A = this chain, B = another copy of it.
Amino acid sequence: MQEVANSTADSKDNFASQVMGQLKQDILTGYFKPGEKLRMARLKERYQVGISPLREALSQLLIEQLVIVENQRGFRVHPISKEEMLDIYETRAYIEALCINLAIERGDDEWEAGILAAAHKMRKFSTLLEKEPHEWERRHQAFHSAIAEGCQSPTLLHVRRSLYEKASRYRNLWLKKNMLDSQIFDANQKEHDSLIDALLNHDAGKARELIREHLLSPSRTLLTTEGFE
């Protein structure tokens, strides 16, 4: 069992927080498979901490529904299902549309500038998509976050982030197979451009429609992929 580099560790946080982040990544990226049993001995070895911080980290992921617990039978990675995926993506589309609606109402010049800046950083990286998919994913997410943050509601953005993380499990399982499909990717880029246009024109109805399509198309593609049920 290989250990994991502790590069992103925040030395100000306690072990539990650090392990929580690493464990979350390992689940989201698929290192730990859906439904897989999380044995303490193995986790101890991987993250190099004792049982107490591990249980704390797992408890936190429990609330986010990334792991499940059966009494006296330890923890497992939350299983995936077609139904849950559709439900998450659907809900996420509604929440994202809500964020955008409010952002168009409330957003100021700084908001618009932030969107264009994030879009630029994303486009600049599009040629490196295949080389560093992780960084591209980060910039893609930053772009959409820049849009949503215009709603200026911490509570709503917290909900949004939680749904994003849950969805990324499914997306990561999908990306591995469809990462190199440049046709899908180009369509994606065009959708981004249309979305920016709608936002700058304060066309809320159009923006809602675009973001819904943008978010839901991956879930439809994912449905046709093998490995479910």
Interface residues on A, range: 20 to 34
Does B98 contact A153, Cβ atoms closer than 8 Å? no
A90 in complex: contacting residue of B57, B60, B90, B153, CB < 8 Å: B153
Assembled-state Cα–Cα distance A87/B154 (Å): 7
Residue of B nearest to A72 (CB): B14
- The majority secondary structure among interface residues of chain A is helix
Does A59 contact B16, Cβ atoms closer than 8 Å? yes
| Chain B nearest Cβ from A126, distance in angstroms | 31
Assembled-state Cα–Cα distance A205/B88 (Å): 25
Instruction: Judge if A190 is at the interface, Cβ distance under 8 Å.
Output: no
Assuming the contacts A59-B60, A98-B94, asked whether A71 and B154 have C-beta atoms less than 8 A apart, the reply is: no
Assembled-state Cα–Cα distance A159/B64 (Å): 11
User: Per-position contact with B for A66-102: 1 when CB-CB < 8 Å, else 0?
Assistant: 0001011000000000001001101100110010000
11 A–B pairs (Cβ distance < 8 Å), ordered by A: A12-B71, A16-B55, A16-B59, A52-B52, A57-B59, A84-B154, A87-B154, A88-B155, A90-B153, A95-B159, A155-B166
